[in-house]
């Protein structure tokens, strides 16, 4: 059900999503950059996806290790090598995470991207970004 909602959002259709404990109409995660620059609050996004090719995992990790600290994005990437399934928790400023999630959603290395949750947070659970591999 949640993934179906995200699929509609990804296609640009308006749908109701839980956000900060309230339901709101969302035009998707493509938020205007002018709006993004105003929001400095801490935010958490949790999503799952399937990697097209597990060989791209090293490139994804290297890119995240380079970019995430610059933007003060923390979190955890968990990968199930058996089925190439990824679950990632990302924490950082709202505007940075929305932009990052859009990049992930459009990344051809991912398929079946499913937004499990998105919410404002009072404090971080992850100061840094890390990787956990499950075989």
User: Could you list the mean pLDDT of each consecutive 10-residue stretch along the chain, which spans 135 residues?
Assistant: 45 34 40 55 95 90 90 91 92 93 95 95 86 60
Integer Cα distance of 80 and 85 in angstroms:
5
Integer Cα distance of 38 and 35 in angstroms:
6
pTM beyond 0.85, yes or no: no
Burial (CB count <10 Å: 0-12, 13-18, 19+), residue 125: exposed
Residue 39: predicted pLDDT: 73
Residue 25: predicted pLDDT: 35
Are residues 106 and 29 in contact, defined by beta-carbon separation less than 8 angstroms? no
């Amino acid at each position: 059900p949640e993934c179906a909602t995200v699929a509609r959002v990804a296609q640009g259709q308006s749908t109701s999503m839980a956000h900060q404990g309230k339901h709101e109409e969302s035009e998707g995660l493509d938020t205007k950059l002018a709006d993004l620059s105003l929001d400095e609050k801490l935010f958490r996004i949790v999503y799952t996806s399937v990697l097209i090719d597990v060989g791209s995992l090293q490139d994804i990790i290297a890119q995240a290790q380079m970019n995430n600290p610059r933007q003060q994005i923390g979190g955890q990437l968990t990968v199930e090598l058996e089925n190439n399934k990824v679950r990632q928790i990302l924490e950082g400023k709202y505007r940075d995470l929305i932009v990052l999630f859009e990049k992930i959603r459009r990344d051809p290395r991912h398929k079946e991207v499913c937004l499990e949750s998105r919410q404002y947070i009072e404090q971080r659970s992850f100061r840094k970004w890390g990787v956990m591999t499950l075989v």
